[in-house]
């Protein structure tokens, strides 16, 4: 099995696709570099923009590596701006859990104002295993439908706008919910059909805590050393928890339960959560996004998260 590479061959990114041609034909403002913007950096009416990726975990994989080649940001008025990475960024999403995230853009200069969408360019070329999954130590190519052509798009909404303040900074994180996203199509083939959630880091909340080893982990998990379960978070109070199956209610986020050898307790962290009302619940069953699984949920409770709050919820 080859090691996870944190760099790759330099590629060019068109407005919507990875192509050999340059970006000048796109009709959009663009640059090619490793982090620093090269245009429009000192004019009035600009702000700084940062973007990172994080992950909601999946039980059946050792690594999920996605190779990003650039980011396109489209304002409500005007041409899109494309950031092309000098070297593709290969990110193991399974390492971006428990409040961790990996940066794609850091303090890039953008015109202040409202933006309507963000598009991620992903390299997924058949036969190259640039984007791949590792299961039980074996590496498999992972297809990302439209990833290398139209990209992965996230739209702004009234309750989740994308705004860059003049002479200020905006920071966002994209959650790749892998419990919803990875499909095993058979014959050792996998697809990543991303379910993405865009979070404004300003005001985002965190919920964390311990999970009782006896009443929950041992009672539900067949082998806690391999899988100690997960905590699911559903939007609004009094939700009857259900598995990930494409039907409502679907969890807005999930957090893997891990054993902390130093403290000898099981614990979880769910970060990058918008303030609001949620139902929290624990389960240890295998959750296949393509199937309606009969999971057992326990320690279900209502919680309310305030802006920028870190709340402790110990489950037992």
| Nearest 10 degrees: Cα torsion 16, 35, 20, 73 | 10
Give residue 22's pLDDT.
Answer: 33
Q: Is the pLDDT of residue 13 over 50?
A: no
Give residue 33's pLDDT.
Answer: 40
Instruction: Give me the numbers of helices (H) and strands (E) for the chain, helices first please.
Output: 2, 24
pLDDT tens-digit series, residues 103-130: 999 999 999 999 999 999 998 877 777 8
Give residue 52's pLDDT.
Answer: 97
pLDDT tens-digit series, residues 212-267: 999 999 999 999 998 899 999 999 999 999 988 778 898 998 999 999 999 999 99
Which of the pair, 92 or 144, is modelled with greater confidence? 92
Contact by Cβ (8 Å): 111, 25: no
Question: Average pLDDT for residues 142-156, to the nearest whole number?
Answer: 80
Q: Is the pLDDT of residue 172 over 90?
A: yes
Question: Which span out of 23-27, 133-137, 184-188 was modeled with the highest average pLDDT?
Answer: 133-137
Which of the pair, 75 or 3, is modelled with greater confidence? 75
Give residue 208's pLDDT.
Answer: 97
Give residue 20's pLDDT.
Answer: 28
**Which residue ranges form the domains of the chain, and what is each CATH number?**
12-200 (no CATH), 205-312 (2.60.40)
Q: Rg of the chain over CA atoms, in angstroms?
A: 20
- Average model confidence (pLDDT) for the chain? 83
What pTM does this model have? 0.78
Share of the chain above pLDDT 70, in %: 82
Question: Average pLDDT for residues 273-283, to the nearest whole number?
Answer: 97
Which of the pair, 82 or 10, is modelled with greater confidence? 82
Give residue 149's pLDDT.
Answer: 66
Give residue 84's pLDDT.
Answer: 95
Q: Is the pLDDT of residue 177 over 90?
A: no
DSSP state of 213: I
- Other residues' Cβ atoms within 10 Å of the Cβ of residue 252: 20
Question: Average pLDDT for residues 128-150, to the nearest whole number?
Answer: 81
> Which ranges constitute the DSSP H helices of the chain?
178-181, 219-220
Ramachandran bin of 40, using left for φ above 0, alpha for ψ from -120 to 50, beta for the remaining angles = left
pLDDT band with cut points at 50, 70 and 90 for residue 290: low
């Amino acid at each position: 099995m080859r090691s996870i590479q944190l760099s790759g061959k330099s590629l060019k990114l068109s407005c919507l696709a990875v192509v050999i041609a340059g970006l000048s034909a796109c009709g959009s403002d663009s640059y090619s570099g490793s982090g620093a913007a090269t245009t429009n950096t000192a004019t009035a009416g600009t702000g700084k923009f940062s973007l990172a990726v994080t992950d909601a975990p999946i039980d059946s994989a050792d690594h999920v590596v996605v190779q990003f080649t650039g980011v396109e940001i489209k304002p409500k008025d005007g041409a899109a701006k494309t950031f092309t990475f000098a070297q593709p960024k290969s990110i193991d999403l399974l390492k971006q859990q428990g409040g961790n995230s990996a940066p794609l853009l850091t303090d890039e200069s953008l015109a202040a104002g409202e933006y309507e969408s963000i598009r991620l360019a992903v390299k997924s070329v058949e036969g190259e295993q640039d984007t791949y999954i590792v299961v039980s130590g074996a590496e498999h190519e992972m297809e990302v439908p439209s990833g290398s052509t139209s990209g992965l798009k996230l739209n702004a909404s009234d309750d989740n706008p994308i705004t860059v303040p003049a002479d200020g900074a905006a920071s966002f994180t994209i959650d790749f919910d892998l419990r919803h996203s990875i499909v095993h199509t058979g014959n050792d083939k996998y697809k990543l059909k991303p379910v993405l959630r865009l979070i404004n880091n300003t005001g985002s909340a965190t919920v964390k805590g311990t999970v009782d080893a006896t009443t929950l982990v041992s009672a539900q998990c067949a082998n806690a050393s391999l899988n100690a379960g997960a905590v699911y978070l559903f939007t609004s109070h009094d939700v009857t928890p259900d598995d990930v199956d494409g039907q409502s209610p679907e969890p807005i986020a999930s957090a893997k339960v891990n054993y902390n050898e130093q403290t000898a307790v099981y614990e979880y962290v769910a970060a990058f959560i918008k303030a609001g009302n949620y139902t929290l619940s624990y389960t240890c069953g295998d959750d296949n996004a393509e199937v309606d699984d009969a999971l057992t949920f326990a320690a279900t409770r209502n919680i309310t998260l305030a802006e920028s709050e870190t709340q402790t919820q110990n489950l037992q």
